[in-house]
Amino acid sequence: DAGVIQSPRHEVTEMGQEVTLRCKPISGHDYLFWYRQTMMRGLELLIYFNNNVPIDDSGMPEDRFSAKMPNASFSTLKIQPSEPRDSAVYFCASTRSTGEEKLFFGSGTQLSVL
């Protein structure tokens, strides 16, 4: 089991640029979550999907953020245009609706917007 795979591991970009973060959940998991972590605000839930459908996006900061899940094995989180305050570590996690309720997290993407 490869676990939750996120890419890139690090991203450095300039203000105003578009940023796309990618996530591959664990095979067979039907829930996918995007979290953001900063020193000031800790771990915040941005959005989560069930069977590729967004269920709760109330944590998405503003219209500059969008997330998609075109199929069960891939999701993207896009920021357009990016701003310095978006600098954070973005985590993707997945779990399944049956069996033990454990969230499995990826290694995160460290985003720096200059």
- Closest by CA to 47, choosing from 19, 26, 69, 28, is 69
Alpha-carbon distance 54 to 100, whole Å? 22
CA distance 2 to 11: 22
Q: Is 31 in the site for other proteins (CB under 8 A)?
A: yes
Sequence-distant (6+) residues with CB within 8 A of 46 are: 34, 35, 36, 57, 59, 60, 61, 65, 67, 77
Please tell me whether residue 65 binds other proteins under the rule CB under 8 A: no
CB 108 to other proteins: min, Å: 6
Least distance from other proteins to the Cβ atom of residue 13, Å: 20
Which residue carries 């959940």 as its tokens?
A: 25
Binding mask 84-103 for other proteins (x = CB under 8 A): -------x-x-x-x---xxx
Of 26, 33, 36, 75, the one binding other proteins (CB under 8 A) is 33
Q: Which residues bind other proteins (CB under 8 A)?
A: 4, 31, 33, 35, 42-43, 45, 48, 50, 55-56, 91, 93, 95, 97, 101-108
